[in-house]
Amino acid sequence: MVVCAGSQGVDDAPVRAHCVGMNAFDWARRSGGPPEILFDARGPLSAHLLDVLQRPVPESGEMLAALLPATEIALSQSVDVLRDDDIQLALFILYGLHYGQVLPADEDWEWNPSLITARLALEREFEKRLRSCVPMPALPEVDSDAVAGALFDLTAPDPGPSLSRYAAKRATPGQLLEFLVQRSIYTLKEADPHSWAIPRLTGRAKAAMVEIQADEYGGGLPERMHSTIFAGTMRHVGLDDRYGAYVDNVPALTLTSLNMMTMFGLNRRLRGAVAGHLAAFEMTSSIPNRLYGNGFRRLGYDTNVTWYFDEHVEADAVHEQIAGRDLAGSLAEDEPQLLSDIMFGASACLTIDGWVADDMLDAWSKGLSSLRVPLAVQSFATA
Ligand SMILES: [Fe+2]
Ligand SMILES: [Fe+2]
């Protein structure tokens, strides 16, 4: 029997829809209702933005004109944009207009100049803050083997507490549910943030990224797309796999992790950072995914649940080589001025995702939920 674990405030109809594999838009079509926004504002800026986006573009009027001042006020009052719920949700919403499926909105909003201006103001402070707090590694020689070596050194396993080791040996069923909820913000869109960079790269680096991303997108088989496999994992443990269903639940930093990838991917001048980010991401995937799979196996789950993690054990052992030498290394050789950003992007990946993991372990060590809004139902489907 499947027990759906819905998020608070979501009635059970969409959850039921989800359990049988429909997405939010399918559900809306079949139920005759409009697509819904599955999450709430977290402050004045995100509230303002959601208000604007629920109108057709021609009717946005004064609300749209007031968006940039609202953005500047939010930025001026923020203590730390990396952990600021309102600012990170606003960025998540603005990027969502490019991804689609994040919230229902008039598609004409995507390139609206006022929204792009607000986005650039947010990105400016976001990037500034990242560059001030992400440790900058020593730069290797401009040589593909040296760059790959430096990235492998940077991403070498840390002997300290690790989320994946905890998941393998000790995590409770409820904690593994939380882990999937946290991961769903990126993984239900797996590969898309880095793919923005494909047309922004050239030559060997572009070919390498396409080779990696082709695997992420299932090698031509939609049912093997990693995002689709992950959605299956969510359904098989009774979670809601609609994109956005758990946005309210996750802390700001989880949104920050996705927003950072998106910012790197969408800005051509940051193509070095997105290459470094993907390299670090792939280099820290194979062994942890084996451990995550072991955690679910320990609790009696079969391959319907572990397929996603098992798939990454071998795939990312290959991807990390391509990402290190052929993507990041070749990019450094072909565009040496990007070397610093390649290492910055890798370090930013390790730093932000490291903080996300540390916060989860810290909460669990105190017997607390790692979520901003704990799940309404903490129940696994039967294995
Ligand atoms: Fe993947
Ligand atoms: Fe991969």
Per-residue pLDDT of 289-329, as tens digits, reads: 999 999 999 999 999 999 999 999 998 899 999 999 999 99
Nearest listed ligand to the Cα of residue 226: 1
- Binning the chain into helix, strand and coil, the percentages to the nearest 5 are 70, 0, 30
More confident residue, 11 or 95: 95
CA of 191 to the centre of ligand 1 (A): 7
| CATH number of the domain within which 267 lies | 1.20.910.10
Measured distance CA(26)–CA(31) in Å, rounded: 8
Q: Which one-letter DSSP state was computed for residue 372?
A: S
Q: How far is the CA of 226 from the centre of ligand 1 (A)?
A: 5
- The pLDDT of residue 3 is 34
Query: How far are the Cα atoms of 10, 211, 325 from residue 334, in angstroms, in the given order?
Result: 50, 18, 12
- pLDDT at residue 34 is higher than 60: no
Cβ atoms of 142 and 339 closer than 8 Å? yes
Q: Which residues contact 336 (CB under 8 A, 6 or more apart)?
A: 142
**Cα–Cα distance measured from residue 249 to residue 42, given in angstroms and rounded to the nearest whole number:** 11
Cα of 158 to ligand 2 centre, how many Å?
Answer: 20
> Counting ligands in written order, which one lies closest to the CA of residue 230?
1
Three-state DSSP class for 5?
A: strand
C-alpha to C-alpha distance for 225 and 229, rounded to whole angstroms: 6
Q: How many CB atoms lie within 10 A of CB 33?
A: 11
Rounded distance from Cα 100 to ligand 2 centre (Å): 23
Question: Of 288, 86, 295, 266, which Cα lies nearest the Cα of 194?
Answer: 266
pLDDT of residue 32: 46
pLDDT at 4 over 90: no
Q: Indicate which ligand has the atom closest to the C-alpha of 308.
A: 1
Q: Which of 252, 280, 267, 266 is nearest to 351 (CA)?
A: 280
Ligand at minimal distance from the CA of 319 is 2
Q: Is 50 exceeded by the pLDDT of residue 93?
A: yes
Tell me how far the alpha carbon of residue 260 lies from the centroid of ligand 2, in angstroms. 18
> Is the same domain home to 266 and 196?
yes
Structure tokens at 355: 């903080």
Neighbours of 223 (CB within 10 A): 8
In a domain, 5, yes or no: no
Q: How far is CA 30 from the centre of its chain?
A: 29
User: pLDDT value at position 94?
Assistant: 98
Q: How far is the CA of 80 from the centre of ligand 1 (A)?
A: 30
Q: Are residues 302 and 358 in the same domain?
A: yes
Per-residue pLDDT tens over the stretch 154-211: 999 887 789 999 999 999 999 999 999 999 999 999 999 999 999 999 999 999 999 9
Asked if residue 364 has pLDDT above 80, the reply is yes
pLDDT at residue 81, as a whole number:
98
Between CA 78 and CA 84 the distance in angstroms is 7
Which parts of the chain are beta strand (E)? none
Same domain, 81 and 214: no
- Quick check: pTM over 0.75? yes
Q: What is the C-alpha separation between 275 and 289, in angstroms, rounded?
A: 21
Distance of CA 208 from the midpoint of ligand 2 (Å): 12
Domain assignment of residue 63, yes or no: yes
The whole-number average pLDDT for the span 63-68 is: 93
Ligand nearest to the CA of 311: 1
Rounded distance from Cα 296 to ligand 2 centre (Å):
20
Distance CA 131, CA 101 (A): 30
How far apart are the CA of 287 and the centre of ligand 1, in A?
13
Pair (186, 294) in one structural domain = yes
> What is the Å distance from ligand 1's center to 316 Cα?
7
Mean pLDDT of 207-227: 97
Tell me the ligand closest to 281's alpha carbon.
2
Report the percent of the chain where pLDDT is more than 90: 82
Ligand minimally distant from the alpha carbon of residue 278? 2
Count of domains for the chain: 2
**Quick one: pLDDT at residue 91?**
98
Question: Do the domain assignments include residue 251?
Answer: yes
Q: In angstroms, rounded to a whole number, what is the distance separating the alpha carbons of residues 136 and 345?
A: 9
Same domain? For 338 and 319 the reply is yes
Q: From the CA of 345, how far away is ligand 1's center (Å)?
A: 18
Q: How many A from CA of 320 to the centre of ligand 2?
A: 7
Range of the domain at 103: 44-133
Task: Say yes or no: 97 and 150 in one domain.
Answer: no
Q: What is the pLDDT of residue 22?
A: 37
Residues 61 and 163 in one domain: no
Is 99 inside any structural domain?
yes
Q: Is residue 306 part of a domain?
A: yes
Q: Are residues 153 and 238 in the same domain?
A: yes
Mean pLDDT of the chain, nearest integer: 90
Nearest to 326 by CA among 152, 215, 206: 206
